[in-house]
Structure 1
Amino acid sequence: MLFDLTGKTALVTGASGGLGQAMAMGLAEAGAKIVAVASSNCDATVAAVREAGGTIEQISANLSELDGLEGVFEKALSFYGSIDILVNNAGTIRRTPAADHAAQDWFDVIDLNLNAVFFLSQLAGRHMIARGSGKIINIASMLTFQGGINVPGYTASKHGVAGITKALANEWASKGIQVNAIAPGYMTTNNTAPIVADQARYQSITDRIPAGRWGQPEDMKGPVVFLASAASDYLNGHVLCVDGGWLAR
């Protein structure tokens, strides 16, 4: 029963595919009702959840437009009356050497990966504080701990996600809200397609992963259900690495 999410509602951003879709599926399989949000449609996620017998609605929104976040959250509330779980998964990346990194690329990444995470968490936090419970799960990265190459904005944003996670946990743990993060390792998604296409780099990364393989989106299901459930009620401000052992090597 510790992992049962029956009766809970989860708002999952960036849920049109990849990690977001897998996490939405995992939460739905554990019994949660889902509100899927993405800049494009979430039709594939909606179909998959419903086919599996789950309950889901979707919202199309550009979360980089910070003025619209309150409207997104209010619409999410209108579906089921509450938000018990927020998964801040939506993100973007711009690959350019630091010396050539355009200002707009920097702002685009920070707006979605960091600013939207804080302000959507703020909206959810107010709602959860009033109810005395809630789970906020932010999606960090291996670049929360490392510098990366040619991705200065992304690295800065993911370091910031860890900081926000800890700051909110400090303030809200006593109010019945757990704020934690998941740092995926190298996962096979659209974001990592350029790395996978570089066979030499792909192999060098694979050789460093103790598990001997890249992660798949489905590898995120268990961790997100754990952090969304009563099983993690005494876990606060933690960044959970789901990386096949990459950081331990």
Structure 2
Amino acid sequence: MTTSTPTVGALLRTWRERRGISQLELAGRADSSSRHISFIETGRSRPSEEMLLRLADRLDVPVRERNSLLLAAGYAPHYAQTALDDPSMETLREGIERLLTGYEPYPALVVDAVYNVVAANRGTLMLLDGLPEHLLTPPLNAMRITLHPEGLAPRIRNLREWRGHLLAQMERQIALARSEPLRALYEEVSSYPVAERRGDGEPEEAVPYIALPLVIEHDGHLLSFVSSIATFNTPMDVTVAELAIETMLPADPATVKYLRSLGD
């Protein structure tokens, strides 16, 4: 039994429908015509490389999948995929290291497309103190470490809310990109049991957070963080396009005071 490879037209149609826009709307965005878009999707017309890249841009297709579109149309991949330890990535690595170090004592880390940790600062490693070796064996996975019942999960005071936020984040990414490894990770971490935290149900003082915080216990202290995620602008490499820098901003004065005392 053979499985046919999707045509470029079928792939484009899938991305267009995934984005929820019509052929007419896409044509307007790409300075084309709905007739031409229809011809491409049905295989009656082969798009030029320039038009294909323009359509992919207007559909916000991930860089990795843009290469797949080009290959399906008979063109060479446009975007390289360079290993992060390649000598050509030295400037990027040094920049990331300076960024993470400069953010200390607050936690910051860099993850790839499936949340494997590629770099982390001392603020992040502090939160991982005491975790079992099997969770800290490379490649470390941020989602697995956070939600595993032997990981950070028992220390997170608002686990149900934070878990729901992380799973929803993964669901959005799966909807935007065809990633079987990410889907497999989602199936794994979403199946972890969620134990009732000791003391659940006890009233706690309301804090006017600006966003949903990660509230976590560390060495007898209750720390609160608001997460911010940044990506690289207009990346031209698959590896760089899939990197995300997460910084944890202290959400209350007590967290600031405690982390600064550790830094001092």
Q: Do both proteins adopt the same fold according to a TM-score greater than 0.5, normalized to the shorter chain?
A: no
TM-score normalised over the length of structure 1: 0.25
TM-score normalised over the length of structure 2: 0.24
Structure 1 or 2, whichever has the larger Rg, is 2
Greater share of helix residues, 1 or 2?
A: 1
Higher relative contact order (CA 8 A, sep 6+): 1
